[in-house]
């Protein structure tokens, strides 16, 4: 049962200098991170699916079987336990449950 009265911890969304990842919201039910990729970054979540929402920039997301091009405004669903590699200049939200 979800406790709608309990609020998640929310932090400032600005990335710190020399940082490429910052947790924005963390709760028992979901996590939201602000991530910036300047070249390449690998990512996997073995417990749940992930949703990427591209905030700025463009690049590609590649898995073992597929590669897609992404740009500002796109959202992508990454299935559980699928390793992906992002490349390009991309700033995005990573939502996982």
* Selected residue with higher pLDDT from 36 and 5: 36
pLDDT at 30: 92
Model confidence at 76, pLDDT cuts 50, 70, 90, reads: very high
pLDDT at 8: 55
pLDDT at 18: 45
Model confidence at 28, pLDDT cuts 50, 70, 90, reads: confident
For residue range 49-74, what is the model confidence (pLDDT) as tens digits?
999 999 999 999 999 999 999 999 99
- Tokens representing 87 are 């490349």
Lowest pLDDT segment from 16-25, 28-37, 57-66? 16-25
Dist. CA 23–CA 4, nearest whole Å: 21
Query: Strand 9-10 relative to strand 31-37: parallel, antiparallel, unpaired?
Result: unpaired
DSSP annotation of 16 reads: P
pLDDT at 4: 64
Closest CA to 20 of 96, 89, 95: 89
Closest CA to 31 of 17, 16, 43: 43
Contact 54, 72 (CB under 8 A): yes
Closest CA to 62 of 84, 44, 46, 40: 84
């Amino acid at each position: 049962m979800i406790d709608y009265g309990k609020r998640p911890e929310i932090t400032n969304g600005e990335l710190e200098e020399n940082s490429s990842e910052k947790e924005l919201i963390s709760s028992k039910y979901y996590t939201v991170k602000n991530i910036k990729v300047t070249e390449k970054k690998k990512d996997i979540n073995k417990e749940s699916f992930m949703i990427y929402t591209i905030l700025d920039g463009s690049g590609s997301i590649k898995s073992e079987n597929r590669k897609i091009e992404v740009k500002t405004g796109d959202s992508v669903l990454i299935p559980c336990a699928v390793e992906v590699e992002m490349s390009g200049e991309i700033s995005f939200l990573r939502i996982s449950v």
